[in-house]
């Protein structure tokens, strides 16, 4: 995610008036759970639609639905394993898990959603 995109995301969250507790949450895998509940031991899968694939840059743009702590938006994620990108197509609906170690900005695995 570029600095400009990240800055726009921060600004959007601030303008929307999210509470400090929710806006401080950056682990995207926890967005499907209320902020008051502890995270599950295994990462929750998010659903989204593949919008763009950048094989050379090992990046993936995914449009995801609104979550309890953020509006619907398209975000750019990195992938640790570039071979994952060979299995994806633009327009494909997927369920994916991100890496909480980097604030949820890297896709670790995915599956095609039905």
Which of the pair, 73 or 5, is modelled with greater confidence? 73
Is pLDDT of 79 > 90? yes
In order of 48, 86, 96, the CA distances from 31 in angstroms are: 13, 27, 13
User: How would residue 80 be classed by pLDDT, with cut points 50, 70 and 90?
Assistant: confident
Burial 42-55 (b: 16+ CB within 10 A, else e): ebbbbebbbeebee
CATH of domain 3-112: 2.40.50.320
The per-residue pLDDT for range 19-57, each reduced to its tens digit, is 434 334 444 444 444 443 334 435 688 899 999 999 999
Q: In angstroms, rounded to a whole number, what is the distance separating the alpha carbons of residues 78 and 30? A: 18
pTM: 0.60
- Using CB atoms within 10 A of its CB, is residue 35 exposed (0-12), middle (13-18) or buried (19+)? middle
* Domain spans of the chain, in order of start: 3-112
Q: In angstroms, rounded to a whole number, what is the distance separating the alpha carbons of residues 64 and 11? A: 19
């Amino acid at each position: 995610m570029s600095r400009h995109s990240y800055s726009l995301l921060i600004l959007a969250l601030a303008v929307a008036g999210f509470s400090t507790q929710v806006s401080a949450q950056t682990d995207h895998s926890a967005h499907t759970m209320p902020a008051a509940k502890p995270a599950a031991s295994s990462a929750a899968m998010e659903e989204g639609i593949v919008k763009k694939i950048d094989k050379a840059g090992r990046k993936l743009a995914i449009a995801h639905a609104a979550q309890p702590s953020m509006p619907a938006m398209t975000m750019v994620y990195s992938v640790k394993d570039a071979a994952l990108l060979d299995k994806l197509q633009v327009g494909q609906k997927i369920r994916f898990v991100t890496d909480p170690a980097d604030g949820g900005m890297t896709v670790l695995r995915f599956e095609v959603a039905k």
